[in-house]
Structure 1
């Protein structure tokens, strides 16, 4: 089937009822017209509340929510079916949903829960939505990563990430980087733009609103730049922050 060319850009951001995903929704809503932004939220009530709040600042942009739990295949498939029935395609998928801390008392349980959400969840969501993305004129696929997932930055004493030891979270993001690269290689010939984003250390619910974190809005800049770049020669296969490329 030929790609669908339409003035409306349809964007799905997982885990976007709060945190950096929500910051991306707000920025896109305020700056972009003819966008339809879909907030993926595990709790649909929270997703709908977030959509209602953002609608107040929207610039000719439509905001809605869909129930989407990235660790549930049933929820993922239901979201795919809903978006396909309403819009027949998806222009942008941003795998943003993630967790950093859990209450599990053993390393095995901690690793299992964090990787299930951050890595396996993002992979399963991507697999499910690739057919709808293929129908877009310029499909964009983004993954929320982190400097904590950089092997290079983890080993450099002068790196801002050197002093942190979040084994499960860092491992999950290093794995996300590999997943993103594999999709970049797989989907390049289909016209996809696949990239990974390091938002920097931001003060959000993910890290308990750590007082050393920067302005959450700053964490949305690079992601939104990539979301809105529909050029044929746009960035592809990168791991980058607002300041520039991030070492793998």
Structure 2
């Protein structure tokens, strides 16, 4: 039986690199690219089919920053597939990122240079805003939209009540520092030309500089071939690349505040009820 795999934000960067790696690992899987821009999704599908001629690749329109789009996509998924084996919540945004150039050059010549690039602490800012649903755009896209999608595809209505299916496993990954279109858009191209040799040199001293989308997808690919029941739900799985270019995955325990996690989950459930009610009322008005 073929595995069904859904990847959000699959048309470029780590998402597209992951799709390529998954098809190389298992050419028989059914791969669904869930993307906001369907033209780019079509291009990604064509690129994948060039190297994997017989691959089974579906497309799904999904804007995780829109409640209406997420709920519609969840219904479409239920209609198409009787199950989803792997759900990769990869899509994300960083709107209007700005770099503190003074802090950048100061950090380049300090002992903090590795940490600066690895975390962007004190280096990057972004301009968030409200979306059409009245939610902060970054929160809606990077967190809440994926929460709704996960809830939507993993739930069924029995006797009029919503119940979660059993047997779900969830893992968190960190791709490391990866250069993608999003990253390259932060600074003018000549800046990257100047500092890229420095970044490749720094990678000799730190394994978090994965740099390429292929390397950044290492932990995502690694999880695909693992026994889900053996994974640690409290661990974050890091994509790492050695100075010699060897890719590997390493778990690191997350500092989890259980009480805070429960509160967050409860708040998300409450918010889900609110947005679903608004969507229902909007549909009735139409």
TM range (shorter): 0.5 to 0.7
Structure possessing the higher relative contact order (Cα contacts under 8 Å, 6 or more residues apart): 1
Cα–Cα, structure 1 residues 236 and 10, in superposed 2: closer, same or farther, change >3 Å?
farther
Q: Which residue of 2 aligns with 1:234?
A: 230
Question: Residue 130 of structure 1: which of 139, 143, 154 is its match?
Answer: 154
1:111-190 map, 5 Å: 112-131=136-155, 190=166
Cα–Cα, structure 1 residues 116 and 9, in superposed 2: closer, same or farther, change >3 Å?
same
| 8 A contact 1:11–1:38 mirrored in 2 | yes
Secondary structure (helix, strand or coil) at the match of 1:246 reads: strand
Question: Residue 32 of structure 1: which of 21, 26, 32 is its match?
Answer: 26
**Cα distance in 2 for residues equivalent to 1:43 and 1:116:** 17
Count of residues in correspondence between the two structures:
187
**Structure 2 segments unaligned to the other structure (5+ residues):** 99-124, 157-163, 186-191, 200-208, 240-248, 255-286
Using the size of structure 2 for normalisation, the TM-score is 0.58
Please tell me whether residue 215 in structure 1 is matched to residue 235 in structure 2: no
Question: Residue 67 of structure 1: which of 40, 61, 67 is its match?
Answer: 61
Larger Rg: 2
Q: CA deviation at 1:106?
A: 8.5
Using the size of structure 1 for normalisation, the TM-score is 0.66
Flag as ranges the 4+ runs of structure 1 deviating above 6 A: 103-106
**Cα distance in 2 for residues equivalent to 1:83 and 1:70:** 14
| 8 A contact 2:65–2:137 mirrored in 1 | no
Cα–Cα, structure 1 residues 108 and 84, in superposed 2: closer, same or farther, change >3 Å?
closer
Q: Which residue of 1 aligns with 2:278?
A: none
**Structure 1 segments unaligned to the other structure (5+ residues):** 1-6, 133-186
